[in-house]
Amino acid sequence: MAGNTQVLEYIIEAEEIYLSTVVIGELFAGFYGGRNYEKNYAELKRFLSKEGIKIINVSLETAEIFGELKNSLSKKGKMLPINDIWIAAHTIETGSKLITFDTHFKQIEGLRIWDNLA
């Protein structure tokens, strides 16, 4: 929402955008910690109502991928924040690319990360 034009262009061109419920939970945590809850919530609802936006819930498949990723990272001594492992699991499950500014996601083998971020 801060306005990265590369991300905006990529999202506009995408046929489908998957949004993990884990990401939505993190957004709500930010909304509650900020001063503009009502405004932020309204913007989120507007975004989620757009065509092509798909909210993905945690499934048994997500949980299995999560367990595999967490175990692999633990063995390598490269643990990530738990929510980020869930987000990575959703990304792998859907076969999509993760748009993120967090470089620690590169530690996850098999995770497709959008690399056009400046």
Q: What is the CATH number of the domain that holds 41?
A: 3.40.50.1010
Token readout for 77 is 């001594």
Token readout for 50 is 């757009």
pLDDT in tens, 94-108: 999 999 989 999 999
If one counts the domains in the chain, the total is: 1
Residue 117 domain-assigned?
A: no
Residue 26 is predicted with a pLDDT of 96
pLDDT in tens, 1-47: 566 788 878 787 888 999 999 999 999 999 999 999 999 999 999 99
Residue 91 domain-assigned?
A: yes
Residue 55 domain-assigned?
A: yes
Spatial separation of the C-alpha atoms in residues 57 and 86, rounded to whole Å:
11
Alpha helices per DSSP H over 34-94: 37-48, 60-76, 82-94
Which residues constitute the domain of residue 36?
Answer: 5-107
Spatial separation of the C-alpha atoms in residues 51 and 15, rounded to whole Å:
9
Q: Give the pLDDT mean for 47-71.
A: 96
Please report, for residues 28, 29, 75, the alpha-carbon distance to residue 43 in angstroms, rounded to integers and kept in the order given.
Answer: 12, 15, 40
Q: How many helices (H) and strands (E) does the chain have?
A: 5, 2
Q: Give the pLDDT mean for 82-103.
A: 95
* Partners of 54 in the β-ladder: 18
Residue indicated by tokens 């910690």: 33
Residue 118 domain-assigned?
A: no
Residue 117 is predicted with a pLDDT of 55
- Whole-model pTM? 0.88
Residue 73 domain-assigned?
A: yes
Residue 118 is predicted with a pLDDT of 46
